[in-house]
């Protein structure tokens, strides 16, 4: 299960737009260089929580 850095960038940009009063919209996630794509749930399940410490992240 891989979360690409472009997924993270896209999600952060989308959330920043929404939090600044813009629209909320869905974003297709997953790597485009393979034959399988990550779903939103898989992508979010593989992100560390904002409260994670360095040991947890590494």
Higher pLDDT, 28 or 16: 16
Who's near 30: CB < 8 A, 6+ residues apart?
4, 7, 36, 37, 38, 39, 43
Q: Please state the rounded mean pLDDT for residues 13-23.
A: 94
Q: Token pair for residue 18?
A: 């929404």
48: annotated binding-site residue? yes
Q: Would you state the pLDDT for residue 58?
A: 77
Structure-token match 């920043």, residue found: 16
**DSSP tag of 32:** S
Q: Would you state the pLDDT for residue 43?
A: 76
Who's near 58: CB < 8 A, 6+ residues apart?
none
Best mean pLDDT range from 10-14, 21-25, 32-36: 21-25
Q: Please state the rounded mean pLDDT for residues 28-54.
A: 76
């Amino acid at each position: 299960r891989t979360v690409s850095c472009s997924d993270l960038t896209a999600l952060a940009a989308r959330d920043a737009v929404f939090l600044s009063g813009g629209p909320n919209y869905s974003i297709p996630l997953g790597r485009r260089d393979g034959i399988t794509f990550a779903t939103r749930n898989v992508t979010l399940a593989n992100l560390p929580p904002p409260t994670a410490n360095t040991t947890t992240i590494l």
